[in-house]
Amino acid sequence: MAAELMSAEIAEQPAALQRLLDAAQGIADIGAAIAARRPRFVLLAARGTSDHAALYAKYLIEVRLGLPAGLASPSTLTAYGARPDLNDVLMVGVSQSGGSPDLLEAVAVARECGALTLSVTNNAASAMAQAAEWHVDVLAGPEKAVAATKTYSSELLALWLLVNSVAGAPLGAAADLPAVAQSLVARDSEVAQLATRYRFTDRLVTTGRGYSYPTAREAALKLMETSYVAAHAFSGADLLHGPLAMIDSDHPVVAVVPAGVGGEAMVPVLERLRDRNADVAVFGSAAAREFATVGFALPDDQPEELAPIVDIIPMQQLAQHMAVNRGFDPDQPRGLAKVTETW
């Protein structure tokens, strides 16, 4: 089956990340402007893949800025007509297209309710970009495959640049990301081989903790929309609070466990999975792969907060290869469109 678009756009990620790094000063200026306004709380509004980017930003904001952050429910502002007091709140709308009606309305209503507003999109001409006080263009370039790949990693990097700019921190730590991304793109054949193991899998679980939890959620979404696998994502902690009971040798687990605090917190989870005789594919550090049935080595020299920007690449490759192995076209998932309009 065809997979030319998705494959090409996965391979475009190193160049897309470099393009965004080259434009980092513009994001830094926005970050400085936001810092000067001193928001007391951050709300993030997004759907689908962009919702996982927003979850990543929530971790960044709370850890790096010490500000409480929450994922907004756009329906409270749109369908239910709520008008909360949002003075001194920063509302961040994240959308690759900038075209989802409910997200557009959520940003516009938040601004009416006193919020500082920022939109992060891949379309500077979109209505959502125009609705916010500030706009960050993720500069991923046109994305034609229905399954988002390069727009996701570009959203992550844009949000990292933004949060670190609000913090007044240097941005140089991200300079190596394009090269690291290229090294992972080049290992596609390794992922293709691993994917054959799960050709006949109809259900699986993805898991991770901390900054890697959004990666686990995005991996599950990619598998669902391209391979039609019933993939359920859980944080490592939540997996132990009940869902562990459904795990056995016939219910594979894909664990994202890079080095760092989140990876260390996953060790008890991996131990419990081993006790369940689970089939566990660990994408992660050497220490984490000791618990794996099969493993894929993730770069071990990336700062933990930057790792999700590149760690998603083998997850995207896994979804693509599983779809093709199962006879599906990941470029055109059934029933889906590139821009999903929700109200």
Angle CA(87)–CA(88)–CA(91) in degrees, nearest 5?
90
List of E strands, the chain:
41-46, 69-71, 89-95, 116-121, 134-137, 203-208, 230-235, 253-257, 280-284, 294-297
Same fold flag, 4-171 and 187-325: yes
Q: Is 150 noted as a catalytic residue in this protein?
A: no
Structure-block tokens of residue 137: 């263009």
Question: pLDDT by residue (tens digit) across 152-202?
Answer: 999 999 999 999 999 999 999 999 999 999 999 999 999 999 999 999 999
Of residues 58, 144, 222, 338, which has the active-site annotation? 338
Question: Computed from CA positions of residues 302, 304, 305, 310, in that sequence, does the dihedral angle turn out positive or negative?
Answer: positive
pLDDT at 261: 97
Structure-block tokens of residue 322: 């599983």
Tell me, yes or no, if the pTM score tops 0.85: yes
Rounded Cα distance between 282 and 292, Å, is: 5
CATH architecture of 187-325: 3-Layer(aba) Sandwich (3.40)
List of E strands, 210-336:
230-235, 253-257, 280-284, 294-297
Question: pLDDT by residue (tens digit) across 225-257?
Answer: 999 999 999 999 999 998 998 898 889 999 999
Q: List CB contacts of 117: < 8 A, sequence separation 6 or more.
A: 90, 91, 92, 93, 107, 110, 111, 131, 132, 133, 134
pLDDT at 337: 61
What's the pLDDT band for 12 if we cut at 50, 70, 90? very high
Question: pLDDT by residue (tens digit) across 265-293?
Answer: 999 999 999 999 999 999 999 999 999 99
Place of tokens 């929530």: 58
Rounded Cα distance between 172 and 301, Å, is: 15
Q: Are 246 and 221 in contact (CB under 8 A)?
A: no
- Strand partners of residue 253: 205, 280
Domain extents for the chain? 4-171, 187-325
Q: List CB contacts of 148: < 8 A, sequence separation 6 or more.
A: 48, 49, 50, 96
pLDDT at residue 78 is higher than 90 = no
- Nearest residue to 252 via CA among 227, 238, 271, 232: 232
**CATH no., domain 4-171:** 3.40.50.10490
Question: pLDDT by residue (tens digit) across 205-228?
Answer: 999 999 999 999 999 999 999 999
The mean pLDDT of the chain is 94
